[in-house]
Amino acid sequence: MVPETLIIKIIFLLQAVGVHLLWLYWIQTKEYRFDRFFVFLKTQDGMRELLVIHTLIKFLVIMVGFFLNPFLFLYLVEIFFLLIYFLTLFIKRRLRKPVFTKRLVRISLISFLCTFITLFVLKTDFWIGLFYSELSLIIGPVVGVFLTGLSVKKTLETEKKEARRILSSVKPIVIGITGSYGKTTTKDFVAHLLSQKYKTAKTEGSENTEFGIARKTFKNVKSYTKFFIVEMGAYKIGEINKLAAIVSPVIGVITGIEEQHLSLFGSLENIKKAKFELIESLPKGGTAIFNLSNKYTQELMEKAKKLNKELKTYGYYMLKDKDTVKTADFRSKVVSADVGGITFEVTDGKERRKFTTSLHGVHFIENLTGAILIARIMGVSWREIEKGVATLTNTEHTMNVFELANGNIVVDDSYNSTPKGFEAALTYLNLFKDKKKVVVTPGIIELGNLSDKVHKELGDLMTGVVDKVFVLSNEAHRVIRDTANQKTSINLVNEPEDLIQELEKINESVILLEGRQPAKLIKYLEEKRR
């Protein structure tokens, strides 16, 4: 083997480790779903994160090397670009690493095997072999996901069957909850209020897929479980039908509809159709519950009138009264709010009840109203509900408020971000009268062709209200910068280490973490927590 080619192969193998890990990290982050992964890859941030330009340059060098071989300088050029790629992955970018689950280990072995074969086993021209090896860095993870997906599918069917068996044996009342926003908090609120009187189980965190629901059935549903509260997520039409087929809900709740994951659904109409699958899956006489504070959910309620279901509604008065909210079975409005909590009033027909909760964020009263409605339907007393409301806590990474050692306040809303949630979090910042306002956000993902419109609206909301914004996404930064830069400092920060350095300079501020954040940042803030 020619020494120069051996040097290239060794360097290639080293940087191949980084490339595989990078692709596997993002494939895992996108839940092994190629539809989500390729939506991300087509964005500016996806191309930057996955080093697409670097990869194209390497392919170009290999092609030139093939046609002009054997000029020595081409070997040197290839080594140069491989070294640059290696340094970018391991030094400048501080390589992202996936979580090595059993499936990811299998995918990694398949991916590395593809690269090793093309690099050292395949007998062909050096440059052609290098081309195949470069291609294997992209194709290997895809092949790994596909092959492991076959066994995953078999395991999934087994676990779904077992989940159905458990539910058939225990026979809990299953409450399914879906929507573009508010699913997790509504699920947690419903479970907490029902648990004041009954043995209650629920899915946990953001586990709202077939696997997550099936496995939480095994873990959480016991022989004595009276209610099972299930969060149901979807990225396209047909997925909620699959979830409903596992748990057979008898009560279905739609919390609200907006343009979340629009790039995957394709249209707002498809989002509405997908969420409505929950209502269609309910048995004859099942109870369908709708949030009348949302105009699209109102439309779905009208559609549900044609089905043989019992309809219940709730609503939340926000900036001004809405006629549709006035017609809801349960209606709520905020009486007062500060950084310590919220006092709100619920109207049930002619009866009015006042509650106090330590929740942070008045928008949660919308979800809590729906939970109170369900609790009353299921026979929980007002006194038990009052006790439950008083002991509620925010879902993890959902408007959690804590103080740092330097006196800064952190509002951790990093669980997820939707247009409505982002706006509500900005409103909450106004309660901190004596603090400067800082926002850290990657923007909102998977909005499709509405991305610019939504981020412009968010930029308008932050203008003159927020003192400084750190944006983690190139595309969101472009729009927010052009919108809000006149009165608000807008900063693009791609690396978590740089972001941490910037935050260390800030004092006497309240810092809103809106949307998914780098793990290093969350760890840093937890360590600095008072």
Instruction: Specify the amino acid at residue 144.
Output: G
Q: How confident is the model at residue 1 (pLDDT cuts 50, 70, 90)?
A: very low
List, for residues 299-335, the tens digit of each pLDDT value.
999 999 999 899 999 999 864 545 668 889 999 999 9
Provide the mean pLDDT of the chain: 89
CA dihedral 424, 430, 436, 442 (to 10 degrees): 10
Residue 93: pLDDT over 70: no
Check residues 499 and 62 and name the one with the higher pLDDT.
499
For residues 485 and 517, the answer to whether their CB atoms sit within 8 Å is no
Residue 28: pLDDT over 80: yes
- Structure-token pair, residue 224: 């004595």
Q: How confident is the model at residue 85 (pLDDT cuts 50, 70, 90)?
A: low
Quick one: which H or E segment has residue 389?
Answer: helix 382-390
DSSP per position, 223-289: TT--EEEEE---SSTTHHHHHHHHH--SEEEE----STTHHHH-SHHHHHHHHHHHHHHSPTT-EEE
pLDDT of residue 344: 95
Residue 485: pLDDT over 70: no
pLDDT of residue 49: 84
Quick one: which H or E segment has residue 509?
Answer: strand 509-514
Which residue shows structure tokens 């009342």? 173
Chosen CATH of 171-390 out of 3.40.50.1110, 3.20.20.70, 3.40.1190.10, 3.30.565.10? 3.40.1190.10
pLDDT of residue 530: 82
For residues 424 and 451, the answer to whether their CB atoms sit within 8 Å is no
Q: Give the class (CATH, top level) of 400-527.
A: alpha beta
pLDDT of residue 210: 94
| Burial profile 75-87: b = 16 or more Cβ within 10 angstroms, e = fewer | beebbebbeebbe
Q: Is 407 helix (H, G, I), strand (E, B) or coil?
A: coil
CA angle 474, 479, 481 (to 5 degrees): 85
- Structure-token pair, residue 245: 């087929």
- pTM equals 0.89
Mean pLDDT of all residues in 272-293: 96
Q: Which of 67-76, 170-179, 334-343, 440-449 has the highest mean pLDDT?
A: 170-179
Q: Count Cα neighbours of 84 within 13 Å in the Cβ-side half-sphere.
A: 12
Residue 366: pLDDT over 90: yes
Q: How confident is the model at residue 71 (pLDDT cuts 50, 70, 90)?
A: low
| Alpha helices, H only, 396-518 | 419-429, 451-462, 474-484, 496-504
- Structure-token pair, residue 409: 């306040």
Q: How confident is the model at residue 449 (pLDDT cuts 50, 70, 90)?
A: confident
Question: CA 384 to CA 273: how far, in whole Å?
Answer: 36
Question: CA 293 to CA 439: how far, in whole Å?
Answer: 27
- Residues contacting 354, CB < 8 A, separation 6+: 335, 343, 344, 345, 346
For residues 290 and 298, the answer to whether their CB atoms sit within 8 Å is yes
List, for residues 223-265, the tens digit of each pLDDT value.
999 999 999 999 999 999 999 999 999 999 999 999 888 888 8
Q: List where CATH 3.90.190.20 sits in the chain.
A: 400-527
pLDDT of residue 129: 84
Question: CA 333 to CA 329: how far, in whole Å?
Answer: 14
Residue 70: pLDDT over 70: no
pLDDT of residue 155: 92
CA angle 320, 322, 326 (to 5 degrees): 125
pLDDT of residue 128: 85
Q: How confident is the model at residue 64 (pLDDT cuts 50, 70, 90)?
A: confident
Mean pLDDT of all residues in 129-149: 91
Q: For a pLDDT cut of 70, what percent of the chain falls above it?
A: 92
Q: List where CATH 3.40.1190.10 sits in the chain.
A: 171-390
Check residues 31 and 1 and name the one with the higher pLDDT.
31
Residue 94: pLDDT over 70: no
List, for residues 401-423, the tens digit of each pLDDT value.
999 999 999 999 998 888 889 99
Mean pLDDT of all residues in 19-33: 90
Cis bond before residue 496 (omega within 30° of 0):
no
Which residue shows structure tokens 């840093």? 524
For residues 201 and 221, the answer to whether their CB atoms sit within 8 Å is yes
Q: For a pLDDT cut of 90, what percent of the chain falls above it?
A: 63
Q: How confident is the model at residue 58 (pLDDT cuts 50, 70, 90)?
A: confident
Neighbours of 60 (CB within 10 A): 11
Question: CA 385 to CA 200: how far, in whole Å?
Answer: 15
pLDDT of residue 21: 85
